[in-house]
Amino acid sequence: MSDAPELIVSVEGGVGRLRLNRPKAIHALTLGMCDAMIEALLAWKDDPAITAVLLDHAEGRGFCAGGDIRVMAESAKGDGVHARAFWHREYRLNHLMFVYPRPIVAFMDGITMGGGVGISQPARYRVATERTVYAMPETGIGLFPDVGGGWYLSRMPGRTGQYLAVTGARIDGADAVALDVATHYIESDKLDAVKAAIVYAPANLERILADAAVMPPPGKLADARADVDRLFASDRLEDIHAALEADGSDWAAKQIAVMDTKSPQTMKVALRQLAEGAQHVDFADEMRMEYGLAVHILQRPDFVEGVRALIIDKDNAPRWNPPSIAETPDSLIDAIFQPLPASDAWTPLPETGA
């Protein structure tokens, strides 16, 4: 057992620093990490000595691979108490970062997925590199793109958000800039110098980032943008599948093959989540909706089955229930979107004033 903290919290000059520190798990978030981040951010929120917050990872090959899914699935097999507590606290962290009065800089160097998206997208400045791999792959494990995915993905250009939500496709750092996921593209070997410069002169944060940023190369998604916007144009999964089948191209066939591995239930949930998320004007309403979705889906079989197939047994053969798009009725999706009773609903941290 290592005595190293899962989150390294420090203050350097006028900068608060949060460093994710679970390298063997690609810094997947735990309940304790969420609590520690909340505690630090609240302590710095009204501290006049803190000018900015830097969020990165201490070592290893990725920024953050998401939440600790194994632990969550184990909870879902039982009473689900821990899973619900984790999501409630994680979404409070996401919301706190979204409304935070100090500028936060998130360095999305390497794998940035799921929960890693949730703690990077609320940041005012989001730095991608040539090593960035960004995705919301939740439909592959019977979940949906939570942590604010309904807000962020629905606001991406064209239908790229819907495409990423349904297929779980990965994009690179150049795509992240093109889709407004990232505000800056900085080569990874320059990051240490950039962080040191911000710590030395946090008042010059914007200029430091702008001076270090370079024009990214063409993204991998660029050539497919027209196909994405045309074939993923509908908010109905049946229509998207039919459009892909009718198209007949190799690209369309690949998307069908990918979708055939995903949970039909949560692909449908994701499309409706983005449609409703696009209408929200308060991020707290997004988090409230997503927490309700998470609680309902926790009670369905696909999440535990998806984690079993992809992460535990790794047979990559999930047995979804319902098993197909055609057998997933709209009434089931309606039930998943039913608001929770007020006593069980998500609430933001009182300190945010929301």
Secondary structure class of 9 (helix, strand, coil):
strand
Place of tokens 């080569």: 187
Q: Is residue 67 part of a domain?
A: yes
Q: Is 161 a catalytic residue?
A: no
Q: Give pLDDT, residue 61.
A: 80
Class of residue 211 by CB neighbours under 10 A (exposed 0-12, middle 13-18, buried 19+)? exposed
Give residue-wise pLDDT tens across range 158-188: 999 999 999 999 999 999 999 999 999 999 9
Point out the catalytic residue in the list 14, 16, 66, 67.
Answer: 67
What is the Cα–Cα distance from 166 to 267, expressed in whole angstroms? 5
Mean pLDDT across the stretch 85-109?
Answer: 97
Three-class DSSP category at 12:
strand
1 occurs within a structural domain = no
Is the per-residue pLDDT at 353 higher than 90? Answer: no
Give residue 69's pLDDT band: very low, low, confident or very high (50, 70, 90): confident
Whether residue 175 lies in the annotated active site = no
Encode pLDDT of 213-243 as tens digits: 999 999 989 899 999 999 999 999 999 999 9
Annotated active-site residue 6? The verdict is no
Q: Would you state the structure tokens that stand for residue 92, as one six-digit string?
A: 């409070």
pLDDT band for position 1 (cuts 50, 70, 90): very low
**Residues 286-345: pLDDT tens digits?**
999 999 999 999 989 999 999 999 999 999 999 999 999 999 999 999 999 999 999 999
At 238, which CATH number? 3.90.226.10
Peptide bond into 322 cis (omega under 30): yes
Query: Dihedral sign, CA of 287, 293, 299, 301?
Result: negative
pLDDT at 68: 84
pLDDT above 60: residue 263: yes
CA atoms within 13 Å, Cβ hemisphere of 263: 30
Please tell me which residue in 56, 68, 90, 146 is annotated as part of the active site. 146
For residue 2, the model assigns a pLDDT of: 58
In a domain, residue 80? The reply is: yes
Instruction: Note whether residue 60 is domain-resident.
Output: yes
**pLDDT at position 184, please?**
98
Q: Is the pTM of this model over 0.85?
A: yes
Q: Are 303 and 297 in contact (CB under 8 A)?
A: yes
Question: Is residue 59 in some structural domain?
Answer: yes
Measured CA to CA, the distance from residue 21 to residue 6 in angstroms comes to: 5
Given the residues 138, 175, 290, 302, the one annotated as active site: 138
115 in active site: yes
Q: What is the pLDDT of residues 182-213, one digit of tens each?
A: 999 999 999 999 999 999 999 999 999 999 99
The reply to whether 281 falls in a domain is yes
Instruction: Let me know: does 71 contact 34? Beta carbons within 8 Å.
Output: no
Does 2 map to a domain? no
The count of structural domains within the chain is 1
Residue 53 maps to a domain? yes
Sign, CA torsion 156/166/87/127: negative
- Helix pair angle (250-259, 237-247), 10° resolution: 140
Angstrom distance (rounded) from CA 108 to CA 182: 8
Per-residue confidence (pLDDT) for residue 125, from 0 to 100? 98
Q: Which of 16, 62, 114, 115 is catalytic?
A: 115
Q: How far apart are CA 220 and CA 270, in angstroms?
A: 23
**C-alpha gyration radius of the chain:** 20
Domain residues for 266? 7-352
Q: How far apart are CA 243 and CA 257, in angstroms?
A: 14
Q: Above 90 in pLDDT, residue 96? A: yes
